[in-house]
């Protein structure tokens, strides 16, 4: 039963990754592209979490936490940079 859940989660993560790549390629603005790359980073982190659950280890936990922090800080930085440019 757990194998079916893991396969379904993997397929959903792959579909989300494809949708993010499409948004990065077609994004009308830089903010859309940055948001899509942030979501892609979170999808990769979720895939690593799925792999840790599958193989019952916590080797990638530090990378997952660091990637989530990096994605958040990067998104906030880009949004502030873009908003500062619009106000100037």
Q: Which pLDDT band holds residue 15 (cuts at 50, 70, 90)?
A: very high
pLDDT, tens only, 17-52: 999 999 999 989 888 898 899 999 999 999 999 999
Least reliable range by pLDDT among 32-36, 44-48, 69-73, 80-84: 80-84
Q: How many domains does the chain have?
A: 1
Residue 35 domain boundaries: 2-87
Helices (H), 1-88: 2-26, 30-55, 61-87
Please tell me the predicted confidence (pLDDT) of residue 79.
Answer: 83
Looking at the predicted structure, is the pLDDT value of residue 71 above 70? yes
Please tell me the predicted confidence (pLDDT) of residue 48.
Answer: 95
DSSP 36-60: HHHHHHHHHHHHHHHHHHHHT--TT
- Output the pTM of the full model: 0.87
């Amino acid at each position: 039963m757990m194998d079916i859940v893991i396969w379904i989660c993997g397929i959903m993560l792959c579909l989300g990754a494809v949708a993010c790549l499409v948004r990065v390629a077609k994004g009308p603005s830089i903010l859309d592209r940055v948001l899509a790359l942030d979501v892609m980073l979170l999808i990769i982190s979720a895939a690593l979490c799925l792999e840790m659950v599958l193989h019952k280890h916590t080797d990638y936990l530090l990378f997952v936490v660091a990637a989530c922090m990096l994605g958040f800080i990067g998104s906030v930085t880009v949004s502030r940079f873009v908003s500062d440019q619009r106000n100037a």
